[in-house]
Amino acid sequence: MIEFFNAQAQTFLNGMARIQQRQMTAQKQLSTGLRINSVADDPAHIGDLMSVRAQLDQTTQINSNLGLVKTETDTGESALQNAVGLLDQVTTLGAQGQPDTQSAATRSQLADQVGSVLQELVGVANTSVEGRYIFSGDSDQAAPYSVDLSQTYPVSTYGGSGATREVRAPDGSLFPVSKTAQEIFDSDNPDTNVFQQVTNLRNALQNNDQAGIESALGSLTATGTYLNTQLAFYGNVQDEVQRATDFGSNLTTQLQTQLSGIQDADMTQAITDLTQASLQQQAALGAEGQMPRTSLFNYLG
């Protein structure tokens, strides 16, 4: 039987297409949990969605970088705590050799102990984290110093470079996170040069030099004060890293909430939409089945 294609049939087909589209939209939201799965879902808010996603990705990367910096900074602070303790040991050894009644042999033994501490101090200067020498500045693949106690001045020249690296905080600010071993242990000022003053005391003890021992001990006081200021720098960086990390954590939460508000589906509404669309589809099919059929033969009879 040939039936005429009429406006009523077209209206039915258009209505069914809209119902099916609502079903598909609701099913996609329920399966993905998202209201926006493509540009076509909400063109007006795609720009906002992409902007928030970009901010969230950037903040996540910065937070990850801060985690690495925290490890490095904590290691640096711990290393300098150790260095301060080692310098105290040197001062104690020097004090033991200071009395003018002390024998040359005893002073020579004390000089050997000071030499061992000097080696440990160089080891501190060569501290590394995950293959990076944290006190070598920007040239972090090279150990900053070596030591050879057979030499009159046993510590090598600095093998690193300047420290220009800065870390970006989630608020966009930048802050330095490290100093070089040259700044910390090998200052241009002889009075605050850790390696120089420890070496001076070692040489004075080896040479049984009473005046040299007293002079070195006097200089070690200023050297110890200077080393503590370097330790304080790393304590301040730890505080900066913690503040930046806290800010980044809060910003991440805010951005995730903002992102959720833009793209997440209302699951209750999606279930309601799917149920209503299914009921409307069944009702439309039932109504369409009861519609009278008119064919060409109805007009020829």
State the CB neighbour count (10 A cutoff) for residue 172.
Answer: 7
In angstroms, the CA 15 to CA 87 distance is: 86
Alpha-carbon distance values, 73 to 43, 127, 235 (Å): 45, 12, 8
Contact of 36 with 49, CB cutoff 8 Å = yes
Tens of pLDDT, residues 249-266: 999 999 888 877 776 654
Would you put residue 174 in left (φ > 0), alpha (ψ -120 to 50) or beta?
Answer: beta
Q: What is the pLDDT of residue 72?
A: 93
pLDDT for 159 equals 95
Tokens of 147: 């030591």
- In this prediction, residue 2 carries a pLDDT of 47
Give yes or no for a contact between 132 and 140, defined as CB atoms under 8 angstroms apart.
yes
CB 123 within 8 A of CB 130: no
Tokens of 89: 């040991």
pTM, two decimals, is 0.73
β pairing state of 166-168 and 128-129: unpaired
The Cα 250–Cα 56 span in angstroms is 12
- Where residue 158 falls (left for φ over 0; alpha for ψ -120 to 50; beta otherwise) is beta
**pLDDT for the residue numbered 203:** 97
Output the six-digit token pair for 73. 């900074």
pLDDT of residue 11: 67
Positive or negative torsion for Cα 168, 169, 171, 173: negative
Residues of the chain with confidence (pLDDT) below 70: 1-42, 44-45, 263-301
pLDDT digits (tens, 9 = 90+) for 200-220: 999 999 999 999 999 999 999
Pairing of strands 174-176, 132-133: unpaired
DSSP percent split of the chain into helix, strand, coil, nearest 5: 70, 5, 25
The CA-atom distances, in angstroms, between 10 and each of 124, 126, 189, 291, 293 are 84, 82, 93, 14, 14
